[in-house]
Structure 1
């Protein structure tokens, strides 16, 4: 601080002195230039008097050598010059000072002389006969006069700088000394400048505030410890270098951590790929969910990034939550197995029912007996066959047993085929299709992709308003292909949007019954997207419609 005060003070002093010198130099220069012009004017008056009395013969006896004297005729011809041969000199009518003298009484200018090859001050006066007498001196004459006066001033400036440096150093030391003697723990008890009292009072207030905050932090830490230690879920808090900052008893139990182990690296707790993937994603700023099998149990790993509370951008670490989902996974597995078994068992008899209903409807038996019932049986059998087909597809997707080869598939062609199949339904519901975009190639299973696009378009038709529209677009970027299906239909409530991809889940069961369907369409889309490593995004607003986007990577893993 002493150095800064010293440098600031000496800088100000030197700057003021230098500015003063510049101003004085400017004033002196202007003063001496004015004196020089006055001297030249006096000389010119003598020369004019001599010319008017004696003519050019006046110059024969002239001994003036301090300045250059030139006599110029009214037409600009040089009649006499005491430094150069007048006959060899060019016409001077265009000289600024000569032109001013001819138009008025006198003229002045400063320029580089072509004759003397240096900057020169010119003063010209018009004689009564119209000729002009011009006096000129080199500009160095002014600088020479100034130099004689400025030399003492430079010595004064140097002495002033040295003196101001010494005084600045002593003053800065004196100013800083009270600061170094302040007791920051008890600032009110320090005797120093009166001007520092508000500053010391502020320090005391901040000390009290810091003590209160520290006490509050201790209480929050105790509360946090009570909550985390009683959680059944495992909890880890890590920094950006994977070092564990905190963990609870459940985490110790799940991963077998001993209480005497401190400063652990999180990757040493569990080395499985799924666990590492979750932690890596969180430390890159992304939310991640992974499943981990450990000691016969199934755990869900939820990892979230922790950022600076002020900016929300600077990553400081991550929080990892470990949930035991063993029972949930078992129930899901039982349900999948049940669905697969029931589907295979019911498909054959339902196909027979469909055939019999078709025979009855075609009139092979008496028409008056059972047309209504036959039609009912046929419709319901078709509905059940579709349901069984969807369940089988979901089961295959769940078990990653899709029995088809992958190939390059054009999503735009797939979308056009789906719209062609749905054209009768769209016409019946007074819904218009609009398709646009570019050809987008995806390496995947054609049948699954067709099923996904068909289900999205079918939902857009079924849950649309009469006279509504369905917009289908395909867009290809550098590293992905995006398919978007947007309708102008009834929309999905915000509270329900997170569940529409669940199996058999229906937002409005009464409306769903009216439009038909199995309730598995979006589930097939979800599982098909997972099969092709595609991302699903949905935007929906009640009464305005729904938009679903599928983004497929060009190169799938």
Structure 2
């Protein structure tokens, strides 16, 4: 079995800062060196052109005084060429002018004939040299041209390799030292962050989002711990109550101090309390799965009205016992969701509407589709006892009951609406509550479009 070697490598932020700063320093050095050499090369080239122009003017003055003999007698390293207006070479101090080709198409000659002066440069890749030419028109028929060779940029760089290399080493050392100090300074500021109270730390502006995130995570963690603590306490209390009753009834039955009729009543009470325990444990399991989002079923296309119809059929007998009329209206509304969770949500809303309704009351269940944005809405409206205004914010909390005695009487666990809330959150749905005490309540769940 192959091991993941890369996963075991430890990354050092200090090293990353050092490396990146080091590379930036090296890049800046090379860019600056390239720009400097280019500008230096161009400067020297302009200087050479000016010198060639000066030499050409001096040669013209000598030619006008001494003629071709004067030009031939000049002892100069640069090349002097005398050209007529037709491009024919009249004299060249470095070559046999009789064998030279016509120069009329040469750039510097053509420019000198038109403007009086002309300049050009030509490269020789083989010799790694560049020839510079300056031509001046003496009169209508004659051009004096002076030229010389200039080394290319490559030769210049090669000649300056030692000082450039020395500067490069110095630049790398300086950038390396700066990078090390910068990395140390940044890592020290991060290491000094108090993870328990990150907002109280003085950090760089760029690190504030990081400390804010830590603070938010700390707050969320404390909230989860508080909720878990409350949940554990509530579960312990809710489990202890029926277990105590079961234990008391069983103890009396064990002693044989009750008659047969009383024993039958105790057996009924034990059954009811055990059923309450089963419902409570099932609700806790459902809520925990929604909390941890551990639902393994994939979302599918669901017809919300069909689920509401199925729930109505399931709760038909419970509604009949309280003489509650259940009315389902609306159109087919398709959503993307987990059928099991959606069914639990609709069931709990309808079950509560029956449990906390008055005798002979009514429940209106409606499913509708918003044509504008495609959202699907489920509403469950009852004519029950309603919810006091001061309790409406808490009805979705776990184990919260507006009237504990009534909830125990009707078999409520205090987890139904909490399951609805977490199921809606799992499906990115919104819940709205409208209730009037003594008149009834209306719960509305809006599901997003498919």
Higher relative contact order, structure no. (Cα contacts within 8 Å, ≥ 6 residues apart): 2
